[in-house]
Chain A
Amino acid sequence: MAGETRASLLRVAGLKKSFTTPQGRLAILKGVDLELDVGSSLALMGESGSGKSTLLHLIAGLDDADEGEIFLDDVAVTRLPDFGRAALRRETLAVVFQQFNLIPSLTIRANVAFQARLAGRLDPVWREELVGRLGLENLMERYPEQLSGGQQQRVAIARALAPRPRLLLADEPTGNLDEATADDFIKLTTEVVAATGCAFLMITHSKRLAARLERQVTLSSGVIKEL
């Protein structure tokens, strides 16, 4: 693949974000620039409190930036109204958090189908393939609370990839898992993501896991540094 130039999927430029705290305004992101190509993977690292989650939330359109631009497939995320961002989250990108990714009152089957159904593009063949690859076949009729943390996170990945998004965002998806489970999880996830042709941005504290992705960057003092 070396030498081949891939088209840009995500472009973040001059992104700024600050929060109001009892101690006054606190600048977290001070001009973040970041680019991600179609189908590529990136690990985002950085100290706790550096603003990694904040950045991910902004990309997913879950929060508003103070300044700067985020383009996803040439769509300016920062300028979309709520329903436009919701559509983006449904169809173009998917988010997986550290926990609480599933709807507790729905079965695993319904959870996996949920986002794809919302997007109006549930492909049963693809769903079965995902279920198979992630090893969820025997868990389909259970409820989230009846699954282990690692199993729950695999379901979350299946749910996220079912509508075939262009970008998968994950915020410390292995934060609650032990090393071995985390390794398995990342291996499976990167394989499935690669098979989908979807770009992957993962926040992690683990250098070992980060090394499994194509690129690694850190967020520190409010700006991105390539490693």
Chain B
Amino acid sequence: MTQAFWTFIALVSHWRRHPVNFGALFVGLAIATALWSGVQALNEHARASYDRAASIFGAGGARSIVPTRGGSVSQDLFVKLRLAGWKVSPVLEGTVRIHGKRFRLIGIEPVTLPREAGVAVVAGEGALGAFLKPPGRMIVTPETLRELSAAESVAIVIDGGKTLPPIEALAAALPGALVVDIGVAQAVLNRPEQISRLIFKEPPSAVAPPLATVAGDALRLVPPREEESDIRRLTESFHLNLTAFGLLACLVGFFIVHAAFGLAFEQRLAMVRTMRAVGVSARTLIVAMLGELALLALVAGSAGVGAGYLLAAALLPDMAASLDGLYGARVAGQLALDPMWWISGLGIAVIGSLVAAGGGLFKAFYLPVLMAAQPFAWRQVQQKFLWRRSVLGALGIAAFLVAHFYGKGLYAAFGMIAGLLLGAALLLPLLLDGVLRLGEKYASQPLAQWFWADCRQQLPGLSLALMALLLALSTNVGVGAMVEGFRKTFTQWLDERLVAEVYFEVAGNAETQQIEAWLEKRPEVSAILPMSKIKIRLGGWPVDIVGMKPHETYRNHFPMLSETGDAWGELQRGEGALVSEQLARRLDLALGSTLDVPAADGQWRVRIAGIFPDYGNPKGQLRIDIDRLMRLWPETPRMGYSLRTAPKAVPELIDALQTEFGQQISQISDQAAIKNLSMRIFERTFAVTAALNLLTLLVAGIALLANFLTLGNVRLAQLAPVWAVGVSRMRLAQLEFLRVLLLAAVTSAFALPLGLALAWQLVAVVNVQAFGWRLPFHVFPAQLGQTVALALLTAAAAAIWPIIRFVRITPAALAKVFANER
């Protein structure tokens, strides 16, 4: 024990004499942990929010009973069930509009509500009284309060004139929902005596009759699995993407740890030999090294987890906005994480650094005592490891190819990316060596010859940092190309799709005939294009069926991926349907194939006449003629209208519509506004990935800096002889700088094709697997140029300080290299 302790002290003393190296190692480890745990925090938080929002009634093992035919049923059934021994609690859910915005209103009965049901918002004696006693309370999250643009204790009036109870904001409330007493909900929603759900936790008493005996076929028990939220499933791929980037960034970070520990080990070889010579056993040495590593991982990991928390908190607003915009998923605005998250963050730091430094420890254990004394022998071992790495790299590429040709599904796609990136990274030193060998061959001047040979000699020490740079750069190129391609495609698509000048939605029970009659009398309106929408499930997937008029506006502008010769004719005759790319992939539909749609009265068979891109829509969409839709589902309300008019007439028309119909219409907007909104949503979606991207590059920069600093003293011994034979320090510094730029340039040249391959994987494979639609693949030369510039900049920034230190060094210090070979 004392042995291990003093060995540990000696090992750690190394860092006290090399604080900058230690700082780099520390920061690298902390950033890696921060990126990983930050992304995990975002994911965790979002998932927890979906679960809370969507399956609030399924939390803690609670079960639901819902009306078999949807909608609501009389609350008499609740009384009957209670009397029969079912410990159920009634719920009424509905939607209200406030200033044109939709909110989910949930009416509960707090006394019978199971505590585990997750609606623990009505806690405490006094609170319960206030909630139940008129005028009651409406419980919302602070974010929802902000969205309502209201203050606490204010009673909001909804569109339609009814008044809600005074607001109370609670952080633990349901994101995006307004929770009131069930009686209040029945009054506000105009559904007196109605309930839409019954929940229970305790199983019914043994003597209780089965559900069917009490309620006939009016109610059904929701199977536990169905409780899992649709939103959670729909957004799963978004989070998978995030996780993948988090992992990649984290990997880059652990490359640093690997490199830094390897270098530190090399630096401490003399020390290790001395310790072995004075009687430290190999085992004690390993224990001490492990202790050092674990301590570092714990301290830096803690810092990293803390930074991850801050990172997540900073990115959360963007993510919340993008999830809301993309999927209508509400995420609570305040980060709340359970202890497991902190522990797992630390775990990642410890395990990651053990794996990253494990190779060094392993080598330390098997390195013969005497061999440690001979740097040459060490180099040989290093060389062997380099070869082994190249073999691993080749294996990685092979794994990529296997996954490419035989793999299926999202995980195979990510496996493919991992294989490609790791394989390429591990092969990088070999490639660099080849390039430098070429340079050496064609150099004729002695200094140039030394330059190339020296670069090659530096390679083993720098290769890991360069690999990190390669990974960061190709991620940058890949994700950048994907985001840019997305933006470009999406803008074009919006231009085509939002070709009508005015669009508005109609409120629930609007007098649509009256609106249509009024519009027909307006001379400036050249076309009225109504739309209706119903929600169904096809193959277990949520699908919107949209009814539209096959007007020439659409014939000329509606973007299609492929269509039959007379797609719009087929649509008009009610024979054909247009299907979104996602749905076509999901259900394996091709042009001309048929689809059976469950309609109000039996199946409706329809032919696929066209496939259209529907970027970013997590649901499937089927577009059919609106008259056909109304015949199949007569109850369907109008959803909204697109109007064609002269652009100049837009503001006036919107004004007139608003004055005439006010409350009955909402979301009235012109094309430009919608386009803006959509673009904003997508910008935000990728704000998170862009931030991660940049941070990854930063990590790579730190890896390089750490490397240069760690190599500093060794480097001095290599430069001193060249200086001694008459090359000035300034000239040497210039060559150093050139060397760094050269290596970074070659690395980035390799990163470009790799990044494009990554981009292709993302748009053509991962995106299809995750979202169900494929993006066109674009190459953006300006972006590639920017990446190369960024690489050089990163490398230069990392190199500049060590080089300045070198220029400033006194000749005496350089000469000392000869006096004392330490």
For residue A69, give the distance in angstroms from its CB to the closest CB of chain B.
Answer: 20
Q: What chain A residues lie within 8 Å of B800 (beta carbons)?
A: none
Check if B283 sits within 8 Å of A83, measured CB to CB: yes
Q: What chain B residues lie within 8 Å of A120 (beta carbons)?
A: 2-3
**Chain A minimum-CB-distance residue to B278:** A115
Residue interface bits A34-45, CB-to-B below 8 A is 1, else 0: 000000000000
Given the known interface contacts A63-B369, A145-B822, the answer about A89 and B16 at a Cβ–Cβ threshold of 8 Å is: no
For residue A164, give the distance in angstroms from its CB to the closest CB of chain B.
Answer: 13
A-B pairs with beta carbons under 8 Å apart, 11 shown: A62-B276, A86-B282, A87-B279, A89-B278, A104-B17, A105-B13, A105-B14, A110-B13, A118-B7, A120-B3, A145-B820
For residue A107, give the distance in angstroms from its CB to the closest CB of chain B.
Answer: 9
Interface size of A as a range: 35 or more
Check if A106 sits within 8 Å of B13, measured CB to CB: yes
Check if A57 sits within 8 Å of B370, measured CB to CB: yes
Residues of chain B at the chain A interface (Cβ within 8 Å): 2-3, 6-7, 9-10, 13-18, 270-271, 273-284, 368-370, 373, 820-822
Cross-chain contact of B279 among A63, A91, A104 (Cβ < 8 A): A91
Check if A63 sits within 8 Å of B370, measured CB to CB: yes
Residue interface bits A133-171, CB-to-B below 8 A is 1, else 0: 000000000011100010000000001100000000000
Cα of A128 to Cα of B400 in the assembled complex, Å:
65
Check if A89 sits within 8 Å of B279, measured CB to CB: yes
Q: What chain B residues lie within 8 Å of A117 (beta carbons)?
A: 2, 6
Answer whether residue A90 sits at the interface, using C-beta atoms and an 8 A cutoff. Answer: yes
Given the known interface contacts A105-B14, A114-B6, A118-B278, the answer about A63 and B368 at a Cβ–Cβ threshold of 8 Å is: yes
**Chain A minimum-CB-distance residue to B272:** A103
For residue B717, give the distance in angstroms from its CB to the closest CB of chain A.
Answer: 13
Cα of A144 to Cα of B271 in the assembled complex, Å:
12
Cα of A87 to Cα of B278 in the assembled complex, Å:
9
Check if A104 sits within 8 Å of B270, measured CB to CB: yes
Check if A119 sits within 8 Å of B279, measured CB to CB: yes
Q: What chain A residues lie within 8 Å of B10 (beta carbons)?
A: 103, 105-106, 110, 114
Q: What chain B residues lie within 8 Å of A191 (beta carbons)?
A: none
Q: What chain B residues lie within 8 Å of A145 (beta carbons)?
A: 820, 822
Check if A118 sits within 8 Å of B2, measured CB to CB: yes
The 7 closest A-B pairs by CB, nearest first: A90-B279, A86-B281, A89-B279, A105-B13, A83-B281, A115-B278, A105-B17
Check if B280 sits within 8 Å of A86, measured CB to CB: yes
Answer whether residue A95 sits at the interface, using C-beta atoms and an 8 A cutoff. Answer: yes
Cross-chain contact of B822 among A89, A100, A106 (Cβ < 8 A): A100
Residues of chain A at the chain B interface (Cβ within 8 Å): 57, 60, 62-63, 82-83, 85-91, 94-95, 97, 99-106, 110, 114-115, 117-120, 143-145, 149, 159-160
Check if A101 sits within 8 Å of B279, measured CB to CB: no
Cα of A89 to Cα of B279 in the assembled complex, Å:
4
**Chain B minimum-CB-distance residue to A57:** B370
For residue B368, give the distance in angstroms from its CB to the closest CB of chain A.
Answer: 7
Q: What chain B residues lie within 8 Å of A101 (beta carbons)?
A: 274
**Chain A minimum-CB-distance residue to B1:** A120
Dominant secondary structure at the A interface:
helix
- A99-B821, A114-B278, A144-B822 given; 6 more Cβ-contact pairs under 8 Å: A62-B277, A63-B368, A86-B276, A86-B279, A89-B279, A94-B278
Q: What chain A residues lie within 8 Å of B279 (beta carbons)?
A: 86-91, 115, 118-119
Check if A105 sits within 8 Å of B822, measured CB to CB: no
Q: What chain A residues lie within 8 Å of B368 (beta carbons)?
A: 63
Q: What chain B residues lie within 8 Å of A114 (beta carbons)?
A: 6, 10, 278
Cα of A103 to Cα of B277 in the assembled complex, Å:
12
For residue B129, give the distance in angstroms from its CB to the closest CB of chain A.
Answer: 69
Check if A82 sits within 8 Å of B822, measured CB to CB: no
Cα of A141 to Cα of B271 in the assembled complex, Å:
19
Cα of A74 to Cα of B620 in the assembled complex, Å:
85
Cross-chain contact of B278 among A95, A100, A104, A105 (Cβ < 8 A): A95
Check if A104 sits within 8 Å of B822, measured CB to CB: yes
Q: What chain A residues lie within 8 Å of B821 (beta carbons)?
A: 99
Check if B13 sits within 8 Å of A60, measured CB to CB: no
Check if A89 sits within 8 Å of B277, measured CB to CB: yes
Check if A62 sits within 8 Å of B822, measured CB to CB: no
Check if A62 sits within 8 Å of B17, measured CB to CB: no
Cα of A100 to Cα of B282 in the assembled complex, Å:
19
Check if A103 sits within 8 Å of B275, measured CB to CB: yes
Check if B6 sits within 8 Å of A60, measured CB to CB: no
For residue B289, give the distance in angstroms from its CB to the closest CB of chain A.
Answer: 15
For residue B303, give the distance in angstroms from its CB to the closest CB of chain A.
Answer: 23
Most chain A CB atoms below 10 A, which of B15, B271, B368: B271
Cα of A222 to Cα of B685 in the assembled complex, Å:
76
